[in-house]
Amino acid sequence: NYPSVGIKIKQDELPDETDAKGYSLYKNLLSQITLKEHTAHVVRFSIDLAKTNFQSPETHIPKILTVALYHDLGKIPDFKLVFNNQVHPFVSGDILSQVAKKNENPPFWIDEAIQIVKEHHLPGEQNIYKKILREADKKARTLEISTKLSGFAIKNLEDWFSPEEFLRKLAPLVNDDRFGNKWYAFSFKNVVFLRLDRLLDLLDQIRQEKQIISPELLSEEDRDKVIIKIVQILVDKDLLVLPSQKHPQTKIIKKLPKFTVILRDGKSFSLYLLPIKITAFTKEEIESMEKKKAISTLSSSIAEVKLSN
């Protein structure tokens, strides 16, 4: 009956870093899901994914089942104490390693399985087994959250995100000083620059209003992937200013744009910003932006905006 999210076992213990990065917005909901339930869900989805990824899944299922069954055992407080480690993937891998040592003839793939368990929250190159585990984990979390949020539908980002709706939501926030240093966007010349670290906040507001659970938005580990996906959608609609690209609709976005903002007093700062064409907004929205700009401390003090090297 242990919860499926990490818990502290000592008063002064730091939270499990991997839990802090993933699903933090839903941690209270997921704490109501037991580790047993979550593991069963991951096992089920792992088997389903094995069937779609391999021509002969039966030869791969033993390894996939082992990885799925052991991947979160390190969240059990007693094991954290035994292995003197609070990062659950590493504890989970150590548990599997100890079990394997008791087997005189462990399977030839056991070392790889241990490595996958230990690294399943780490970024970087992923083999097919690690991809299956991560995807199964995401599917399990989506299912679990949906059971706790009645009335919410599960939809992929592409099925509910509307660039037009996104722009309408953004427009009143441009040149708005009410948010202090958490401002959303400013206009400069013929461009609206949206902070990329606020893009997801805006996206999540729309998602909640639509009562949608979007798998891509469940984990903070997927943050950059989601942003790049949104940027690509806007590029395909020819809504962004990409000066070095003659045909922006054909550009594949692989790196997020970083800009240097130079103020009239000579000071400057650099941020990842999304440059949106001012023509993407309505006449009324542009007029409102200009009125706010005249009284905005930030927007009225900008002298230049340029791409960072």
For residue 71, pLDDT beyond 70? yes
pLDDT of residue 140: 94
- pTM of this prediction exceeds 0.85: no
Encoded amino acid at 162, one letter: S
CA distances from 87 to 7, 38, 141, 207 (A): 11, 18, 19, 31
pLDDT of residue 249: 44
Measure the CA–CA gap between 169 and 164, rounded to whole angstroms.
Answer: 9
Q: Which two tokens stand for residue 295?
A: 């009284």
For residue 271, pLDDT beyond 50? yes
Q: Which of 13-22, 42-51, 54-63 has the lowest mean pLDDT?
A: 13-22
pLDDT of residue 15: 47
Confidence band (pLDDT; 50, 70, 90) for 86?
Answer: confident
Domain ranges of the chain: 17-148, 157-307
pLDDT of residue 17: 47
For residue 81, pLDDT beyond 90? no
For residue 281, pLDDT beyond 90? yes
